[in-house]
Chain A
C-alpha cells in the first residue's frame, strides 16, 4: 500500500466521522404553525430551553395564561401586539418587540405544529 492511499483512506474516514450526526431540534422546541403558512410567514419556533434559563415555567404558564397542553393555546398576533401572551415580554423592553417578525417566525415553511423534542423522544402533545 502506498502512502497516498493511506492518506486518502484517512481522509475518507475523517470525512465520514466528521459528517453531521442526526440533526434534531433541541429538546422541547415547539413549532407553531396554526396560521403562519396561510399568512405567508414562516412558522414560529418556540425554544423552551432558551426561555427556562430566564423564566420559571409559572411565569408563562400561570401569569401569562399559556395552557400546559401543547396545541391548546390559540394566540393571535393581535393579542401579542396588545401585550398579551408573548407580548407581555416581547414588547421591546424585556425582549425584542413583536415588530421583529422574523426573529420568532423563523421555522421551515410547511412544518406541522407540535413539540419537536430531542434525541431521546419526540415528545407527546396532541394538536
Chain B
C-alpha cells in the first residue's frame, strides 16, 4: 500500500460525509423552516401551558396553497379553491356584500398603475371596513401615498400587517401605463 493511497481514503470519506450531512440538513431545514414553532416564536411564553393545546402554524398552513410572502399562504387561492371556507357571518341577518368592479389607481405616478380589485377585498371584508374612514367612496377623491401606506395608513392598515406585505410591490402595481 502506497502512502498516497492511505491519504486518499479518509479525504474521500470526509467529503462523502460532508455531502450527506449537507443534503440531510437541507432537507430537514426546508421542511421545518417555513413556520416557526410556537415555543420558539418569540411571542409565546415557552412555559405557557397553552402550548400543549394551541395549533402549530405549520400544521394548519402547510396544507394551504403556498405563497412566498407573509404567512407563506396564498389566501386568495385558498378561498377561491375552497381549500378553506371561513364563515362570513355569525348572525344569520348580517349582510354579506360582494362588489365586483376594479378601480384604476396611481394614474399619474411613476410606477405601473394599481388595479384595485373590489372583488377579492369584499370576499373577506365588509364595505364599512374601508369606507368611509380610510377611503372615500368617490373615485378620485382619495389622495393615496406610499409614504402614508408604509406608515400603516390607508392600504397599510392591513397590507404589511395581515394581508400580503408591502415588499410585494408588483402585486398592486400591476398595470402598465400603456395598457390603460
Contact = CB atoms under 8 A, between A and B. Distances in A.
The answer to whether A and B belong to the same complex is: yes
Interface of A: 1-3, 5-7, 9-11, 13-14, 17-18, 20-21, 23-29, 31, 42, 45, 47-50, 52-59, 61-64, 68-70, 88-89, 94, 102-109, 111, 115-118, 120-121, 123-126
B45 A10 contact: no
A88 B94 CA distance: 14
B43 A48 contact: no
B61 A49 contact: yes
B67 to A, nearest CB: 10
B21 A14 contact: yes
- For chain B, the bracket of interface size reads 35 or more
Contacts of B26: 17
B43 to A, nearest CB: 4
A53 B60 contact: yes
A64 B126 CA distance: 12
Contact of A6 (B13, B44, B94, B153): B13
A121 B57 contact: no
